[in-house]
Structure 1
C-alpha cells in the first residue's frame, strides 16, 4: 500500500468520525454542561484542603475554548494559592497549566476523548507548586445509562515530570478515576473515586468526593463538593470545593 492510499484511508476514517460528532453533539455524554467539550466555558472555583501540615486554599479560573469543528478543545488554568502552615502564611500564583483535547469517537450514548495537559513550574513559592514541569496524557470515556439519567465518566491518566528544580522530587503517578452522575430536573448529584499510584514513593494517594449541582440559568451552573483523601500516602485529609460555570 503506497503513502497516498494510506493517507486517503486515514482521511476517510477521520472525516466519518468528525461527521458523527457534528450530528450527535447535543446528545452525547461529552456535551453535558458540567463535563463538556463543545461550549466556551469559564469556571471559577475555590478549593480548601486540610493536610497534616496545615491548610491550603486554591482559587482558580479555568477557560475551555472549542476550536475547529469543536472536536478539539483548548484549556487554560490559572491558580491563586493561599496556605496556612507553621512555616508559611501567604498567597501567590501556583503552577499555571494548559491543555488540549480531541474527540476521536462520539455517538448518542457514548464517546471517547483524549487529552494532554502540561503544568509549568511557575509557582511563586515552593509550597504552592511541584517545582516541576509536568505532562499529563489521558483518555476519557463517557457513557449514558437508564435513559440518560445517569452518566459514567472514566479517566485513565499518567502524570510525569520532565523538567524543573533538581532538588524537588520527580512526579510519576498513574490515575484511574470513575465518576457517576445522576440528573434530575435542573439538578445533579455525583460520586467520584480516584485511585492514584505514585511510583516515586511507591504508595497510593487516593481521594473521593460527592457533588451537588444545579443549573440556575440556561448558561450558568453552580456546584459544591466535599472530598476526602484515603490511603496511607494520601496528600490531604478532607476538602471542600465550590464553583460557578459560565457557558457562552
Structure 2
C-alpha cells in the first residue's frame, strides 16, 4: 500500500510539472513582468523605513533564476543596510537569503506555487539582522480576474528561526498577504495588505502599500510604492520603496 501511495504522489507531481511546463509560454498569473517566474530577473530596489528610534534604509539586489523545466525557480537576496538611529549610524551587509520555488499547477487564469526561503545569520552588525537563521515556507495562489485586467496573488507564509545566537529573540511569525494588480497599457497599479502575527510578541506587525509601476522598455520596469505599518507590535511607522527590474 505504501508503494502505491508513493507512486500516486510521484505521478501527481510529474503530471503537475508537465502542466506547468506546457503553459509557461502563455499568459499566466506567474508570468507577469512584475512577478515573473520564467525569465531570469534582476531587481535593484531601495527601501526607506521610519521607526520610533530613527530610520533604516535597505539597498538590495535580488536575482531570480528559473531552472529545470522552469516550474522551479531559485532566488538570492543581498541587502546593504544603513541606519540612522540613536544608537547606530553606519552601513553594512544584512542577513543574506536564498530560496527555491516550485509551481505544481498552472493554467492561463490561475496557478499554485510553493516557496521556501532561508535567511542566514550573516549581518555584519547585530542591529542589521535577526541574529538567527530563519526558515520561511510559503504557499502562493495566483488568479486573473475580469478578463485579465486584475491579478490577485495570495500568500500564506510561516517564518521561524531554527538556529543562531541564544541571546537574540526567537522568530515565529505567520503572514497572510494579498495583493491586487491592475494593468493598463505599459502601467500597473497594485494594492497590498499583509497581516503578520508574531507568536513570540503576541501581537500583530501588519503593513499595507500601494504601488505604481511602468514598463520603460520591453524588458525593463520601474516601480515605487509607499507603505504604512499598523498593529500593536508594528516594526516601523511608514516607508517608501523604489525599484528597477531587468528581465532576460
Aligned equivalent of 2:16: 17
Aligned equivalent of 1:117: 117
TM-score (ref. length: structure 2):
0.97
Q: Which runs of 5+ in 1 are unaligned?
A: none
Distance 1:133 1:16 in 2: 34
Distance 1:215 1:76 in 2: 23
1:74 to 2:66 alignment: no
Distance 1:161 1:11 in 2: 31
Aligned equivalent of 1:64: 64
What do residues 72-123 of structure 1 show as CA deviations (whole Å, max 9, x unaligned)? 1000000000000111100000000000000111111000000100000000
Alpha-carbon offset, residue 22 of structure 1: 2.3
Distance 1:22 1:121 in 2: 35
**What SS class does the counterpart of residue 27 from structure 1 fall into?**
coil
Which residues of 2 match residues 1-248 of structure 1 at below 5 A?
1=1, 3=3, 5-25=4-24, 26-248=26-248
Distance 2:177 2:200 in 1: 20
TM-score (ref. length: structure 1):
0.97
Alpha-carbon offset, residue 7 of structure 1: 4.7
How many residues are treated as equivalent by the alignment? 247
Distance 1:86 1:243 in 2: 28
Alpha-carbon offset, residue 23 of structure 1: 2.6
Q: Which runs of 5+ in 2 are unaligned?
A: none
Distance 1:227 1:10 in 2: 41
What do residues 211-233 of structure 1 show as CA deviations (whole Å, max 9, x unaligned)? 00001111111000000001121
Distance 1:200 1:15 in 2: 39
